[in-house]
Structure 1
Amino acid sequence: MNQVMENILTRRSIRAFNEKSIKKEELEQILQAAIYAPSGMNKQTWQFTAIVNRDKIQYLAKIVERVLGRVGYDFYQPAVLVLASNERESRWAKEDNACALENMFLAAHSFGIGSVWINQLQDIGDHPEMRAYLREIGIPDEHLVYGVAALGYAQREAGEVSKKGIIKIVE
Structure 2
Amino acid sequence: MNEVMNAILTRRSIRKFTADPIPAEVLEDLVKAALHAPSGMGKQTWQFTVVTNQEIIHRLCGLIGTELGREGYDMYGPAAVIIPSNEKESPWGKEDNACAMENIFLAARSYGVGSVWINQMQNINDRPAVRALLDEIGVPADHVIYGVAALGYADPSVPVEPKERTGKVVYVK
* Same fold, judged at TM 0.5 (above): yes
Give a deviation string over 1:36-57, Cα, whole Å, max 9, x none: 0000000000001011011110
Instruction: Work out whether 1:136 is the aligned partner of 2:101.
Output: no
Deviations 1:55-86 (A, max 9, x none): 11011111111111101101111000111100
Query: How many residues end up aligned between the 2 structures?
Result: 171
Give the Cα separation in 2 of the matches to 1:161 and 1:54.
31
The runs of 5 or more residues in structure 2 that have no matched partner are: none
Look up the match of 1:81.
81
Q: Amino acid of the residue matched to residue 76 of structure 1?
A: Y
Deviation at 1:158, TM superposition (A): 2.0
SS of residue in 2 equivalent to 1:170 = coil
Distance 1:22 1:53 in 2: 12
Match of 1:36 in 2: 36
TM-score by length of 1: 0.98
List aligned pairs for 1:82-101, cutoff 5 A: 82-101=82-101
- Code of the residue aligned with 1:91 in structure 2: it is P
Structure 1 stretch displaced more, 73-82 or 157-166 = 157-166
Q: Given residue 36 of structure 1, which amino acid in structure 2 is its aligned partner? A: H
- Matched-pair identity in %: 55
Structure 1: unaligned runs, 5 residues or longer: none
Residues of 2 paired with 1:99 and 1:49: CA distance?
16
The residue aligned with 1:121 is 121
Question: Are 1:6 and 2:6 matched, yes or no?
Answer: yes
Q: Give the residue type in structure 2 aligned to 1:114.
A: G
RMSD of the TM alignment (CA)?
A: 0.7
Q: Secondary structure at the match of 2:144?
A: strand
Shift of 1:137: 0.4
- Inter-partner Cα distance in structure 1 for 2:58 and 2:115: 17
- Runs of 4+ aligned residues of structure 1 deviating over 3 Å after TM superposition are none
